[in-house]
Amino acid sequence: MPIHPQNDALEEMAARDAEAPVVMLNLLRFREKAEPGHGVDGLTGEEAYREYGRRFSALQPRFGGEPVWMGKVEAVAIGAENETWDLAILVRYPTRGRFLSMLSDPDYQAISTLRTAALSDSRLIEMTQLLPSRN
C-alpha cells in the first residue's frame, strides 16, 4: 500500500512551474495501532497522525502548507469496492517548489516517520485550480 511519494511522480511535479500554487488531496487510512519504532508506540494510527499534524504545524510557516478542508470519509461512491478511507484533507501550498522543498527538508523528514507509523494506506494527489478562474 502506498505511503511514500513515488520518485517518478515527484520528478514530473518538479518539471512543472515551481512558482505555481498547488493543492494536495490527502486520502488517509489509519493503522489500527501505530507501527512500532517511530516514537509513537502504543498509540492508534489516528493518534499517531494527530501527533504528526501537531509537529507539522510547527514547520508550516516555512513551507506554507495550509489545510483548507478536512473531513471524515463516509463512503466511496465510485471506486474499488475495498477502497476505504478514514480522512480526506486538502492542503494548499503557495508554490509547488515549497511543497517539493518540504519533502527533502531534514526537519520534515524527521517527523514524516510519524506519518509512516500512522498510515496503512494513502493517496497524495497534486491539483491545480481551474475554478474560479485564476486571472
Buried b (16+ CB within 10 A) or exposed e, 13-41: beeeeeeebbbbebbbbbbeebbeebebe
Residue 113 domain flag = yes
Residue 119 belongs to domain with CATH number? 3.30.70.100
Please report whether residue 130 resides in a domain: no
Domains: count for the chain: 1
> Residue 7: its pLDDT value, please?
76
Residue 131 is assigned to a structural domain of this protein: no
Domain range for 103 is 7-12+19-123
pLDDT tens-digit map of 47-102: 999 999 999 999 999 999 999 999 999 999 999 888 899 999 999 999 999 999 99
Looking at the whole model, is its pTM more than 0.85? yes
Residue % of the chain over a pLDDT of 70: 96
> Is residue 129 a part of any domain in this protein?
no
Residue 9: its pLDDT value, please? 87
